[in-house]
Amino acid sequence: MATKTDFSEEEWKTLHKGVTGAGMFVSSSDADFTDSFGEASALAKQLVEERTTGTTQLIRELAQTGGTGFGFFGSPDKVESETLEALRSSIALLGTKAPEEQEPYRRLVLDVAERVAEAKGGVSDKETGALGKIKDALGVAQA
């Protein structure tokens, strides 16, 4: 079972950025200032839940990591590109260091992204598009 100590500081930042970035990317894909607070709350609530219910120690530790890896006013394009790169890098990294953690990581990222998408009035077409890009970056087959 992998834990935070199995990764360098830079690797850990990449894993974490993929998780929080997925939520931020979905939120920024259909930006509405009034929805931002509810979506940020949904992201935080999902991570709080994962701290105790996460399927592996690594997932619980990722959920405890603070911050987002982005500046407060990161542009939507920057959030998208850096998130997708972090997700691709994370899956490759886990494939090398902890293959058994790939699926729990994918599930964590998708749970965060989907919860944010559903936070305010249902999932929009733009959010669906963002979710599709996240799934592609994670190597998840889509129907």
Q: What pLDDT, on a 0 to 100 scale, did the predictor assign at position 76?
A: 85
Span 126-135, pLDDT tens digits: 999 999 999 9
Q: What string of H, E and C letters represents the secondary structure of the chain?
A: CCCHHHCCHHHHHHHHHHHHHHHHHHHHHCCCHHHHHHHHHHHHHHHHHHHHHCCCHHHHHHHHCCCCCCCCCCCHHHHHHHHHHHHHHHHHHHHHHCHHHHHHHHHHHHHHHHHHHCCCCCCCHHHHHHHHHHHHHHCCCCC
Q: What pLDDT, on a 0 to 100 scale, did the predictor assign at position 92?
A: 97
Count of CB atoms within 10 A of residue 139's CB? 13
Where in the chain are the domains? 9-138
Whole-number Å distance between alpha carbons of 23 and 46: 10
Q: What pLDDT, on a 0 to 100 scale, did the predictor assign at position 141?
A: 81
Q: What pLDDT, on a 0 to 100 scale, did the predictor assign at position 36?
A: 66
Listed in sequence order, the residues at least 6 apart from 55 whose beta carbon sits closer than 8 Å to its beta carbon are: 104, 107
Mean pLDDT by 10 residues, the chain (143 residues): 95 95 88 66 86 93 81 77 96 97 96 89 88 96 73
Q: What pLDDT, on a 0 to 100 scale, did the predictor assign at position 143?
A: 63
Q: What pLDDT, on a 0 to 100 scale, did the predictor assign at position 85?
A: 97
Whole-number Å distance between alpha carbons of 104 and 34: 32
Q: What pLDDT, on a 0 to 100 scale, did the predictor assign at position 121?
A: 75
Write down the pTM of the prediction: 0.91
- Tell me the CA distances in angstroms from 22 to 11, 16, 41, 75, one per residue in order: 17, 10, 14, 14
